[in-house]
Structure 1
């Protein structure tokens, strides 16, 4: 979520503020009521998986290597065993033995490493396997560095951005995900959750002003259009949302509507870029109006749109690269197994990412004229009704 905050917000006008409040208050009330209505009433229970393994944390105490009887295809640590002291779990304090991990994605381990183990019960007793490194401490350090850098540079604005980020994660973790697991429509949950994020975070980050209200309205309008376009595209292209073992397992285990989850992902993913564009457009129009008081609605719209075109050109490339980067391993695998480019592009995995990119881009393109027009009307109307009012 982010865009620069204007030095001068849209001019204050009591009548326009009342109109803005009359528009935004019902939207906020409806969003809050929808969240209360859809909020999961019970804790989500995860069904037991046949053959599922318990997870433990441990520390590598020693490694005992031995010659491999045959060459390993993915030799990461060689052959032998490791002794691991359990630091968290049912067997905390005990020292267990596990084979050295090898194979695709196996962690490379050394003495003193903090690792993750899984244990499974067999007729011969419990079997332990090292499957990953612990990353909690490193991630906390990285998060602290991020927060300090943001506050040091952004000061109060950086602090409000952190609060906004906390709200976003809170809505996603405590409302969106549990509600989807509880069986609610993923698309409906995504729309309600995204509306709550936009209403809360934009005002929290950029303050209560007409300029922010314009950005919120532009975001919600463009966001609604994105939802409609994504539903049409997913239905027309017969995308199921099931493209790998993880999505298939999620659909079977938790009875989640995977096509709806795909729509929800497109909608939520587009929100972060939409608010950047809308805030920038509202701020740009306010700045242009302050610099050129003689500009009318048309001139303000044209000036703001010129800036919006440049912004869209750069943001679109960002979206495409972001989706391509996240899907690069799958893209390489598909191309390696298929000779035809047409076959690659129409494969459901790639087509799904194309739909994300195209629909997200269409929503951004719509956000520029919508938000710019609203901002031009509000700024010029405020100046017309109260010419003595200074921007603030």
Structure 2
């Protein structure tokens, strides 16, 4: 039978020691300085970024319109009314979901010579309203459930988006080192997002340090895997189109940068979870040796590894379902299908991200077990490191930590 010791005044972890804070600062400060230096040195000058191409060719423009009637199968056109009230007809596109009367569409207006009416061609559906409604619903749900923590997370998400748009994409288009851009972007985002969402604490610092270790491992393994598997980055039509607008672009580097950035969010999730697990275990078992904290937290980490690896694999299957269906319809060996360009790139991304994730969990757990504060002396409490690992929680109930 397990047994426990009840104490009238349970010991609680003391604030982190000055030594722990100094060690964490000494580990994180060089990374912060390197990130700032990387931002300043890699930030592209105005002339380095290629000019943006016009969305519509000269003599044409995009026009919002509303479908006012059904498809005329003889002329293959829909009756429409443009935003300024002009009634006209829109050419349909084969293979595209048919718009219903009353739906908003985006059309391409092309000027023509002569007395013929100017034609409109279907380009896409108008999605601004439903997307804006979904975004508002997302923000409200996050604020309702997570409150101030949710607000901080949303602010961090906005910062990350700003970094991607203002630094990452222009710098890659300018032809700068994709590996440098990946590491600087992920480090800058993690420094701000983690402290903003979780507070400037020792616990957050341990999670951040574990995240940076995981990112470095992911980048190193990804660089080797991309070269060994001949990932070219030119596996999609959109990627192959990029060099025509940005001649200095390195498609293989873009693929590597995407690999590192793709693993950033999952790493953040697991490292925060592991750091929090160690701190919570210390709260309920303040006399447990650090090796016991590490062992118990790793049990949580192993469960997290299993679920997160599934998440990454299933996320890819959902995003690439059409590609997988096309491969299934082609009669070829499974090995050939999985090693084809576009599939191989995603397989490398998933496997490398998973390896970095798995390695980050024990690293973060070990750092947290070393950094978690020792006991704060209390009446009736035993000294830290006592042989008996059982203890009492804050409410005086017996808590058992098996040896």
> Which shifted more, 296-305 or 51-60?
51-60
Shift of 1:275: 0.7
Distance 2:272 2:312 in 1: 18
Change (3 A) 1:283 1:50: closer
Partner-residue secondary structure (3-state), 1:63: coil
CA contact (8 A) 1:214 1:282 kept: yes
C-alpha distance after superposition, 1:180-219 (max 9, x if no partner): 1222222221210110011100000000111100000000
Partner-residue secondary structure (3-state), 2:68: strand
> Which shifted more, 20-29 or 164-173?
20-29
Shift of 1:259: 0.7
Distance 2:81 2:133 in 1: 25
Provide the residue aligned with 1:18 in structure 2. Answer: 22
Provide the residue aligned with 1:103 in structure 2. Answer: 94
> After superposition, where does 1:362-377 map in structure 2 within 5 Å?
362-377=355-370
User: Which runs of 5 or more residues in structure 2 are unaligned?
Assistant: 1-11, 379-403
Change (3 A) 1:186 1:94: farther
Distance 2:58 2:240 in 1: 17
CA contact (8 A) 1:10 1:286 kept: no
Provide the residue aligned with 1:227 in structure 2. Answer: 219
Normalised TM-score (structure 2): 0.83
Change (3 A) 1:52 1:268: farther
C-alpha distance after superposition, 1:93-141 (max 9, x if no partner): 362634341311244131x432211234556685421211111122111
Report which of the two structures shows the higher radius of gyration computed on alpha carbons.
2
Aligned length: 364
- 2:185 pairs with 1:193: yes
- 2:308 pairs with 1:315: yes
CA contact (8 A) 1:106 1:132 kept: no
Distance 2:231 2:307 in 1: 28
User: Which runs of 5 or more residues in structure 1 are unaligned?
Assistant: 1-7, 70-78, 88-92
Shift of 1:285: 0.8
Provide the residue aligned with 2:137 in structure 1. Answer: 145
Provide the residue aligned with 1:361 in structure 2. Answer: 354
Distance 1:52 1:361 in 2: 47
CA contact (8 A) 1:10 1:211 kept: no
Change (3 A) 1:19 1:64: closer
From 34, 37, 42, give the equivalent of 2:41.
Answer: 37
Shift of 1:296: 1.7
CA contact (8 A) 2:223 2:256 kept: yes
**CA RMSD between the two structures:** 2.6
- 2:77 pairs with 1:80: yes
C-alpha distance after superposition, 1:138-178 (max 9, x if no partner): 21111111111111111111111111111111111111112
CA contact (8 A) 2:67 2:105 kept: no
